Chain A
Amino acid sequence: DTEVTQTPKHLVMGMTNKKSLKCEQHMGHRAMYWYKQKAKKPPELMFVYSYEKLSINESVPSRFSPECPNSSLLNLHLHALQPEDSALYLCASSQEFWGQFSGNTIYFGEGSWLTVV
């Protein structure tokens, strides 16, 4: 089962609101990701958690705050967003393994469509 579940599927929020996006996976994967995707653009990496620790932050503005409560859950807390933050937010996970020829298949959730008004 390659299922990554995201909630909510759609979210409309005002610029002064605080909301959260949630993600869950039960594949035993130890890496989890947040990507942002604008229309007609590729997914853009925001954050990577490896073994529940933040390992990569792609210089994302502090109005986006990730949280990894445990190895199966990943949250993205949103506060004081701007209209240009409206996008599809994709959660993903992968099974980390090391070695010279290691690979990293990312499995995406269905995404959360965010509209900031």
Chain B
Amino acid sequence: GENVEQHPSTLSVQEGDSAVIKCTYSDSASNYFPWYKQELGKRPQLIIDIRSNVGEKKDQRIAVTLNKTAKHFSLHITETQPEDSAVYFCAASKGTGGFKTIFGAGTRLFVK
């Protein structure tokens, strides 16, 4: 089955710096890659996503890139702010008569 690896597990940056989180997936049939942000005690919430026919997507300070050949995708946060501190999960999914979304282990981001 699908396996999603996420790095780093912890990331600490100074306010205003950029943060990059990287994920790799194993199933070449996966075609949808969402990113979720989870604050302490709250639900995971979608912050950005990318589909397999797109190489890059940007939404204000957040961008995601996808390299299908290498099976890599990354989250980029620019001009980080204290409210960006949270756990970020990447995920990969494909449609198989009921979508199976598999999450990476998570990255705990601290913005100092």
Residues on A close to B: CB < 8 A? 31, 33, 40-45, 48-50, 55-56, 90, 94, 96, 98, 100-111
Report the bound CA distance from A56 to B95 in whole Å.
12
Interface residues in B, total, Cβ within 8 A: 25
Q: A49's closest neighbor in chain B, by CB?
A: B98
Residues on B close to A: CB < 8 A? 31-32, 34, 42-46, 49, 51-53, 89, 93, 95, 97-106
Choose among B49, B89, B104 the residue that contacts A103 (Cβ–Cβ < 8 A).
B49
Give chain B nearest CB distance to A51 CB in angstroms. 9
Closest 5 CB pairs of A and B: A55-B98, A42-B103, A50-B98, A104-B99, A48-B98
Hey, which chain A residues are within 8 Å of B102, CB to CB? 45
- A45 pairs with B101, CB closer than 8 A: yes
Hey, which chain A residues are within 8 Å of B32, CB to CB? 102-104
Choose among A44, A48, A108, A109 the residue that contacts B99 (Cβ–Cβ < 8 A).
A48
22 contacts between A and B (CB under 8 A): A31-B98, A40-B106, A42-B89, A42-B103, A42-B106, A43-B44, A43-B89, A44-B103, A45-B101, A55-B98, A90-B43, A94-B99, A98-B95, A101-B52, A103-B32, A103-B49, A104-B93, A104-B95, A105-B34, A105-B46, A106-B46, A111-B43
Judged by DSSP, the binding face of A is loop
Q: B97's closest neighbor in chain A, by CB?
A: A55
Hey, which chain B residues are within 8 Å of A41, CB to CB? 105-106
- B43 pairs with A96, CB closer than 8 A: no
Report the bound CA distance from A107 to B51 in whole Å.
17
